[in-house]
């Protein structure tokens, strides 16, 4: 009896016939079942290491490419994650997405990436786009946690993890920094250096962490026996960019001459503040002290080197990706909170020693 040949779909180009490999071909070559090949492609964590290596070696040697469209139709979703960052021009979000991609790639997932640019309408369009592409889950730093679109996707079975923001209602899983403690650390440091009038350049309170940081700043000041209302001057900007610092600095210098230190929403804003102060002849830290938030890669390269609150964006992204990939239906949402760290450099003046 002639031996059976594996079934293949064929395409013709000119006189040559080319065969398209299937999982059956891989199974035959590796000496395993098609179910095992399917597990290697879709659930590698349950396959024995030796078998996993043997099948993957065959896949690589035969240049096998998975038909992802067919797999998506069978599973109802793709092996892809949707990521929505607030602002991809911010190095913080670059590190978060790098961490997500590193873990996703290791676990066999691809990443679709978008930036809301802090606009709810754009976030909504991205959420719908990711739904159309049948991503397995969405990691999002939401402009509005109460978004109806996000809630509807979640109710329909979409896995969701919030990035860099907790969910007070406990509906969604989240990975974030303890923002309250981060701002509290900044407040404690500034007070220890003798500062009693502090400007806080913040974004609108619709973003949860902006409220959390104001809370932490206020708590740190109150713990020192001072009235936060007398110490803090809050200046609101519309975006967390260096360009947004210009009107904030103008407002600060024109209306708050007694302020001796500035806490910025992030390091990008702090970068803009340093530039604007320099152009106006204000020397940091001699005339005004500046503190950032994030500890971006450039913070130590500035002149003066920036004192800032360090987040852990790469680890945050890794944790979020692992959380959403391993999430299963019916599991209670979990929240992971990273501890902040104050990085003291040269942008804060010690007024206590100066007075002495």
pLDDT, residue 92, reads: 93
Q: What is the pLDDT of residues 83-129, one digit of tens each?
A: 999 989 899 999 999 999 999 999 989 999 999 998 999 999 999 99
d(CA 210, CA 174): 17
Specify the pLDDT at position 13. Answer: 35
Q: Which CATH superfamily is domain 179-313+342-355 in?
A: Response regulator (3.40.50.2300)
Domain with CATH 1.10.260.40 in the chain: 21-66
Alpha-helical runs (H) found in 287-335? 313-326
User: Is residue 354 pLDDT above 70, yes or no?
Assistant: no
pTM above 0.85, yes or no: no
Q: Report residue 48's pLDDT band, with 50, 70 and 90 as the boundaries.
A: very high
With bands split at pLDDT 50, 70 and 90, how would you rate the model's confidence at 328?
low
How many Cα atoms within 13 Å fall on the side-chain side of residue 89? 10
CATH, domain 76-177+314-339, list 3.40.50.150, 3.40.50.2300, 3.40.1080.10, 1.20.1250.20: 3.40.50.2300
* Mean pLDDT calculated for residue range 184-199: 98
pLDDT for residue 22 = 83
| pLDDT confidence bin for 310, thresholds 50/70/90 | very high
How many whole angstroms separate alpha carbon 187 and alpha carbon 166? Answer: 22
Query: Right CATH number for 21-66 from 1.10.3470.10, 1.20.140.70, 1.20.20.10, 1.10.260.40?
Result: 1.10.260.40
**Residue range(s) in the chain whose domain bears CATH number 3.40.50.2300:** 76-177+314-339, 179-313+342-355
Query: Between residues 343 and 208, which one has the greater pLDDT?
Result: 343
Q: How are strands ordered across the β-sheet holding 173-177? A: 110-115, 80-85, 137-140, 159-163, 173-177, 335-338
CB 55 within 8 A of CB 36: yes
For the cut 90, the answer to whether the pLDDT of residue 11 exceeds it is no
pLDDT score of 24 more than 90: no
């Amino acid at each position: 009896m002639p031996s059976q040949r594996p079934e293949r779909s064929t395409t013709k180009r000119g006189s040559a016939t080319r065969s398209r490999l299937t999982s059956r071909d891989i199974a035959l070559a590796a000496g395993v079942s098609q179910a095992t090949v399917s597990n290697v492609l879709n659930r590698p964590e349950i396959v024995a290491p030796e078998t996993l290596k043997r099948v993957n070696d065959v896949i690589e040697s035969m240049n096998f490419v998975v038909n992802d469209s067919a797999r998506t139709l069978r599973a109802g979703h793709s092996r892809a994650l949707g990521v929505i960052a607030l602002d991809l021009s911010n190095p913080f979000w670059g590190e978060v997405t790098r961490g997500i991609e590193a873990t996703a790639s290791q676990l066999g997932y691809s990443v679709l990436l978008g930036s809301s640019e802090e606009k709810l309408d754009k976030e909504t369009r991205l959420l719908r786009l990711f739904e159309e592409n049948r991503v397995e889950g969405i990691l999002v730093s939401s402009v509005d946690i109460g978004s109806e679109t996000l809630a509807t996707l979640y109710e329909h079975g979409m896995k969701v993890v919030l990035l860099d923001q907790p969910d007070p209602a406990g509906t969604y899983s989240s990975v974030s920094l303890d923002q309250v403690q981060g701002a509290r650390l900044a407040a404690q440091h500034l007070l220890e250096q003798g500062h009693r009038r502090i400007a806080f350049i913040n974004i609108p309170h619709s973003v949860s962490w902006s409220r959390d940081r104001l809370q932490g700043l206020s708590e740190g000041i109150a713990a020192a026996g001072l009235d936060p209302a007398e110490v803090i001057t809050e200046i609101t900007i519309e975006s967390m960019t260096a360009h947004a610092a210009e009107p904030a600095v103008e407002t600060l210098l024109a209306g708050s001459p007694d302020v001796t230190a500035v806490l910025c929403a992030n390091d990008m804003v702090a970068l803009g503040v340093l530039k604007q102060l320099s152009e106006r002849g204000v020397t940091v830290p001699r005339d005004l002290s500046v503190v950032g938030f994030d500890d971006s890669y450039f913070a130590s390269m500035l002149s003066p080197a920036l004192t800032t609150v360090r987040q852990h964006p790469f680890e945050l992204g890794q944790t979020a990706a692992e959380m959403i990939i391993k999430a299963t239906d019916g599991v209670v949402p979990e929240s992971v909170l990273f501890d902040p760290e104050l990085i003291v450099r040269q942008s804060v003046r010690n007024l206590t020693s100066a007075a002495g």
